[in-house]
A and B are shown apart, each in its own frame.
Chain A
């Protein structure tokens, strides 16, 4: 009885210590998902979407790569750096997240989501977090517009079958 109660009491402080450690550990700040009804976000999203809506889909991919690279290349180095690895990482994470959201069970969603779709916003946020990209100002709204335009440019079944954004034409 004594041994048992002491073990129980030992287990509880262990949990408490773990909780305390977790509480005290610094958590890196990540960009939070922005609500689609935020007026500034929406204005930036609409402006960007209008700018790109006449572009060919492969040019939208190109614009997205440049936009991600702009975020990734913020800094002060003497010579230029290639951010291709992080741009590609963002792309893969975005495609995977969008397909998970828009193609449950590998099949396209029956009803088209609202624009800007919260799923697209979340997917952009997930992809940015995956590459530890610090999105500032209009980054998230503009990347969401580019991602939303890509989704809109492809038939749903085609979108669900994409292996890479390179396949978008």
Chain B
């Protein structure tokens, strides 16, 4: 009996010591949030390499524009402190909003990653959502090959058929073909990726946003329409969001410092600078097109419906907008003028202005579409603030 008890106790002690030592080792290895994030991304099978070598090349050119800031760049590999760590993830595989909450990333959600990228200042990680990129790539290829005559219509088509059915438009087998259309698509996408990455690196450079100022509630009664409109107007936007917008603008300005030095780096600097500007423009066209579709899905306005039918065609409107409309349509203004980011028009103008003061200069960003939206916004805000007695 004694031998049995001793054997039982020994087994338990061995098991416990194995567990404790194992846990301690694991804790030591995972003591750094960046390491834990990398481990969790792998465990959740979120890593999705999509042209990682191109991403690395772009990132290296941007890092070169900020000497001494990062020790190096790595893509989809073990986390390295002090490096720029880039992880390509497929946000459609994300099953929980809380995967990285313990690491200080409460907004690691499919929605937050929808724009294509997300930065984590504490660890120096930039996440790039390959699902969003594939959608963008497919729409770009459709436009460049003439399948659709407009980028917004191309986005609508990808949304209507779904990303898997649109695979031939984002598959490397198509993109790697040496044709004039694919070369142009490659420049646009490479440039757009450079802008997105530069913006996120800008966030890493400027750090977290300072504490938001207190909200100033001044609007006593609003119609449903005015509730939607108020978020587009600085006078009626809560202070916390105004602070967020200033911070996003600061990230754009930091991005300009990385983009505006490219012409001086290497023998192909001038060409690269032009490609990055072309892609920045393309990214804003994409963002505008995406907003137009979201506006259509969130409104019952016959004016917007007519405009969208004219832009993308009635058949695509039905499949990509009407059939995908929100159950509760809260209005078109919120999707057009998100609370967290400055209006596209203001962003484009500020970026262009700041680029002029960089060694490479820069002009030619197309703000015409955004300008129309800005005129609409200004008129709407004047009317709203006048009704509320605000100046």
Question: What residue of chain B has the Cβ atom nearest to residue A29's Cβ?
Answer: B102
A121 located at the interface, meaning its Cβ lies under 8 Å from any Cβ of chain B in the complex: no
| B12, B105, B199, B200 interface centre (most CB from chain A within 10 Å) | B12
Q: Which residues of A contact B247 (CB under 8 A)?
A: 76
Tell me if A79 counts as interface (CB < 8 A to partner B).
yes
B339 contacts A73, C-beta separation under 8 Å: yes
Picked from A24, A63, A79, A137, the residue with its CB within 8 Å of the CB of B217 is A63
Q: Smallest Cβ distance from A68 to chain B, in angstroms? A: 11
Asked if B119 and A76 sit within 8 Å, CB to CB, the answer is yes
Q: Contact: A59 with B12, CB < 8 Å?
A: no
CA distance A54 to B247 in the complex (A): 32
A85 CA to B98 CA, complexed, in Å: 14
Is the pair A77, B16 in contact by a Cβ cutoff of 8 Å?
no
Contact of B106 (CB < 8 Å), options: A79, A85, A134 = A134
| B109: contacting residue among A55, A66, A86, A166, CB under 8 A | A86
Q: Does B349 contact A (CB under 8 A)?
A: no
- The 8 A CB mask of B82-119 against A (1 = contact, 0 = none) is 00000000000000011001100111010111111111
> Given A56-B220, A72-B107, A138-B214 in contact, is the A20-B16 Cβ separation under 8 Å?
yes
Complex Cα gap A76–B212 (Å): 14
* A2-B4 contact in complex given A54-B220, A77-B117, A138-B214, C-beta closer than 8 Å: yes
Note all chain B residues with C-beta closer than 8 A to A158.
none
On whether the beta carbons of A70 and B238 are closer than 8 Å, the reply is yes
B26 to chain A minimum Cβ distance, whole angstroms, is 9
Interface pair B8/A59, CB less than 8 Å apart:
no
Given contacts A17-B15, A138-B214, contact A79 B221 (CB under 8 A): no
Count B interface residues, CB 8 Å: 62
* CB neighbours of A91 from chain B (8 A): none
Flag whether B61 is at the interface (Cβ < 8 A). Answer: no
**Once bound together, how far apart are the Cα atoms of A20 and B209, in whole Å?**
40
Q: CB of B377 within 8 A of chain A?
A: no
Q: How near does chain B come to A64, taking the closest CB pair, in angstroms?
A: 11
Choose from A13, A73, A132 the contact partner of B8 (Cβ within 8 Å): A13
Taking the complex as formed, is A78 at the interface, i.e. its CB lies under 8 A from any CB of chain B? Answer: yes
B200 lies within 8 A of A76 (CB): yes
B307 interfacial contact with A, CB 8 Å:
no
Q: Are A76 and B23 in contact (CB under 8 A)?
A: no
Which residues does chain B contribute within 8 Å of A74, judged by CB atoms? 106-107, 209, 244
Bound complex: CA of A136 vs CA of B9, how far in Å?
A: 48
* Residue from the list B15, B109, B118, B211 in contact with A76, Cβ < 8 A: B118
- Assembly CA distance A119 to B83 (angstroms): 47
- A97-140 CB mask vs B (1 if < 8 Å, else 0) is 00000000000000000000000000000000001111011100
Q: Among the listed B4, B116, B200, which residue makes an inter-chain contact with A6, where contact means beta carbons less than 8 Å apart? A: B4
Q: Tell which of A10, A17, A63, A74 has the most Cβ of chain B within 10 Å.
A: A74
In whole angstroms, how far apart are the Cα atoms of A29 and B214 in the complex? 25
A contact residues around B54 at 8 Å (CB): none
| Pair B222/A133 contact, Cβ less than 8 Å | no
A61 nearest CB across to chain B (Å):
10
- Docked complex: A21-45 residues within 8 A CB-CB of B: 21, 24, 26, 28-29
Is A152 among interface residues, defined by CB-CB distance under 8 A?
A: no
Q: Within 8 Å CB of B216, what residues of A?
A: 51
Known: A56-B220, A83-B111. A20 touches B20 (CB 8 A): yes
- Tell me which of B106, B203, B212, B287 contacts A133 (CB under 8 A): B106
Query: Which of B1, B20, B117 lies in contact with A2, CB distance below 8 A?
Result: B1
Instruction: Establish whether residues B115 and A73, one from each chain, have CB atoms under 8 Å apart when the complex forms.
Output: no
B340 near A80 (CB under 8 angstroms)?
Answer: yes
Tell which of B101, B241, B339 touches A28, judged by Cβ atoms closer than 8 Å.
B101
Closest residue of chain B to A1, judged by CB?
B1
Q: Tell whether B215 is near chain A: CB-to-CB under 8 Å.
A: yes
* Residue B19 at the chain A interface, CB threshold 8 Å: yes
Q: Chain A residues with Cβ under 8 A from B309's Cβ?
A: none
* Residue B338 interfacial (CB < 8 Å): yes
Closest to A14 in B: B12
B335 nearest CB neighbor, chain A only: A82
Contacts of A66 in B (CB 8 A): 215, 231, 238, 241, 339
Tell me the complex Cα distance, A133–B105, Å: 10
Find residues 303-326 in chain B having any chain A CB closer than 8 Å to their own CB.
Answer: none
A residues sitting closer than 8 Å to B (CB atoms) are 2, 5-6, 9-10, 13, 16-17, 20-21, 24, 26, 28-29, 51-52, 54-56, 59, 62-63, 66-67, 69-70, 72-83, 85-86, 131-134, 136-138, 142, 166
Given A24-B23, A74-B209, 12 other A-B residues pairs in contact with their CB atoms under 8 A: A16-B12, A29-B102, A56-B221, A59-B220, A73-B339, A77-B113, A78-B116, A78-B200, A79-B115, A79-B341, A81-B112, A81-B340
| 12 sampled A-B residue pairs with Cβ under 8 A | A5-B1, A6-B8, A59-B219, A70-B240, A75-B106, A76-B121, A76-B200, A76-B251, A77-B113, A78-B199, A81-B107, A131-B97
